[in-house]
DNA sequence: CGCGAAATAGGTGTTATCACCTACCCGCAT
DNA sequence: ATGCGGGTAGGTGATAACACCTATTTCGCG
């Protein structure tokens, strides 16, 4: 199971975060004397990350959730789909259920809070490179809860957001949704943005397919 | 079942077609001496049609399939959904399976070819206003075929179109789809347009939901 | 009583999507 | 052999969608 750079003992890491200072901080804390971990690159958004994963073939990708453009969860999904042997660890400030769920669904091997200690981070990276999973303690508890018959899905989206998403699923444009629900198009856009974030997607089409597949919305009167 | 203008014997008709000359021709052939049929309005696209149906409340809407903007099938779907007691007759030059299927799914009470005789057209309008259905002979045959275990769904979309739609359902943008399938974004757009026409929808979101619900595409590897 | 979450909405851009065209190539059927 | 559907692709323009901001109100929760 060690077919990439890991075979010679070094673990190749790609850091993805939109804050240069944060990337530098992580890099410093990872690259300690023994040379076990090598940071082979940095990316500042999801698109760049996917490109670099292709060219650099890191063993582990450390990625933030909230980034401009393509968010970390969506990027994780694509990395996991395009390069199944590349492990992804989410580095997040959020410990919300929905993010954890979405991140793990997207194929992440780890979900660490940014409050993690440097030594623990190194341990997690090494562990994940060898096939383990890494979860911050607070996250681990949530995951267990999620596994034991989770009603998280229902609470994921607010009532208003579900109404918006339902209409969107019928093909309604934001303008139409706005008229239907008596709100401005800007509010519809805001709801859509929040829905995207919660579901870990980056387009209305993705949001709608997820909703349809998980039956969060009633399609009964669509045809 | 006669709660609108029909109660006094006259049938109120709305004509929807993007060709003014065609509308005039239909109007002339409908409004004969006895005054049974009254053309209460004309619209030149789907959006206008929906608006006029709301304000004029016709008994019957005669609508063309191919129109700029919202096509006739999509307009039919919305009219049927918003005003269930308004009957819609599709007037089309196409006798393709997919259009017939989509039109009837959308809630049309009739599907007539534009080659129809004036007297038959009048008879169909009157019949539909009283609750009958109206199909051109060539169409009636197709409908019967469709009803007897139809494999139309599978044949609806071409192989290439299904590939495009599958990727679209995963939230891929046209640009992404283009790269994935090694074609230009213009070709992707062309495929999307054709898909919209065949399904009788007018946005990628609608196309995708239909595909997901009818399971035309494999979502298995989405999550 | 402040604090966060949800709902509302405006400002300002950049992209993506979609409509309507034309055009060429291919294979298949009339 | 001529047409026709499918796949390909370019031009042009309008509109929708989306990113990133800020800001207000309401409401429940420590």
Query: How many angstroms away from the CA of A4 is the closest CA of chain B?
Result: 25
- Which CATH number do you get for residue B186? 1.10.10.10
Among A85, A105, A137, the domain boundary falls at: A137
Q: What is the pLDDT of residues A87-104, one digit of tens each?
A: 999 888 766 655 666 777
Strand C closer than 7 Å to the CB of B101?
A: no
Among B107, B137, B167, the domain boundary falls at: B137
B129 plus B22 within the same structural domain: yes
Among B76-80, B103-107, B163-167, name the one with the lowest average pLDDT. B103-107
Cβ contact (<8 Å) for A205 and B81?
no
A155 plus A209 within the same structural domain: yes
Give pLDDT, residue B93.
75
Strand D closer than 7 Å to the CB of B117?
A: no
- Which CATH number do you get for residue A8? 3.40.50.2300
Query: How many angstroms away from the CA of B85 is the closest CA of chain A?
Result: 16
B115 plus B39 within the same structural domain: yes
- pLDDT band of residue A168 (cuts 50, 70, 90) is very high
Among A111-120, A180-189, B178-187, name the one with the lowest average pLDDT. A111-120
Interface test with B, best of A101, A102, A212 (most B CBs within 10 A): A212
Q: What is the pLDDT of residues B122-167, one digit of tens each?
A: 888 888 888 767 776 555 555 544 433 333 343 478 888 888 998 9
The total domain count for chain A is 2
State the residue range of the domain holding B201. Answer: 147-222
Strand D closer than 7 Å to the CB of A102?
A: no
A108 plus A158 within the same structural domain: no
Cβ contact (<8 Å) for A173 and B213?
no
A169 plus A214 within the same structural domain: yes
Residue A142 lies in a domain: no
Give pLDDT, residue A145.
43
- Name, of A125-129, B89-93, B146-150, B172-176, the range with top average pLDDT: B172-176
Among A119, A137, A155, the domain boundary falls at: A137
Residue B142 lies in a domain: no
Residue A77 lies in a domain: yes
A119 plus A159 within the same structural domain: no
- pLDDT band of residue A7 (cuts 50, 70, 90) is low
A86 plus A186 within the same structural domain: no
B174 plus B65 within the same structural domain: no
Strand D closer than 7 Å to the CB of A173?
A: yes
Residue A104 CA and nucleotide D24 C1' are separated, in Å, by: 36
Long-range Cβ pairs for the range A80-87 (8 Å, 24+): A80/A106, A80/A107, A80/A108, A81/A107, A81/B221, A82/A50, A82/A53, A82/A54, A83/A53, A83/A54, A83/A57, A85/A3, A85/A4, A86/A53, A86/A57, A86/A58, A86/A59, A86/A60, A86/A61, A87/A59, A87/A60, A87/A61, A87/A128, A87/A129
């Amino acid at each position: 199971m060690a077919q990439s750079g890991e075979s010679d003992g070094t673990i190749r890491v790609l850091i993805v975060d939109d804050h240069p200072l944060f990337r530098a901080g992580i890099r410093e804390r990872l690259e300690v004397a023994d040379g076990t971990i090598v940071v082979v690159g940095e990316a500042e958004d999801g698109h760049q990350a996917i490109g670099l994963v292709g060219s650099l073939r890191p063993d582990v990708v450390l990625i933030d959730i909230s980034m401009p453009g393509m968010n970390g969860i969506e990027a994780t999904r694509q990395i996991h789909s395009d390069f199944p042997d590349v492990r992804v660890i989410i580095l997040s400030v959020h410990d919300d259920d929905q993010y954890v769920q979405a991140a793990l669904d997207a194929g992440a091997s780890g979900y660490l809070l940014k409050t993690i200690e440097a030594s623990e981070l190194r341990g997690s990276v090494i562990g994940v490179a060898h096939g383990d999973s890494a979860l911050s303690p607070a996250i681990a508890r949530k995951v267990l809860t999620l596994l034991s018959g989770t009603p998280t899905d229902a609470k994921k989206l607010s009532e208003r957001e579900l109404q918006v998403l339902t209409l969107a699923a019928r093909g309604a444009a934001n303008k139409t949704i706005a008229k239907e629900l008596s709100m401005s198009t800007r509010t519809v856009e805001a709801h859509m943005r929040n829905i995207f974030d919660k579901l870990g997607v980056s387009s209305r089409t993705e949001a709608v397919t997820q909703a349809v597949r998980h039956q969060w919305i009633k399609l009964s009167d669509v045809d």
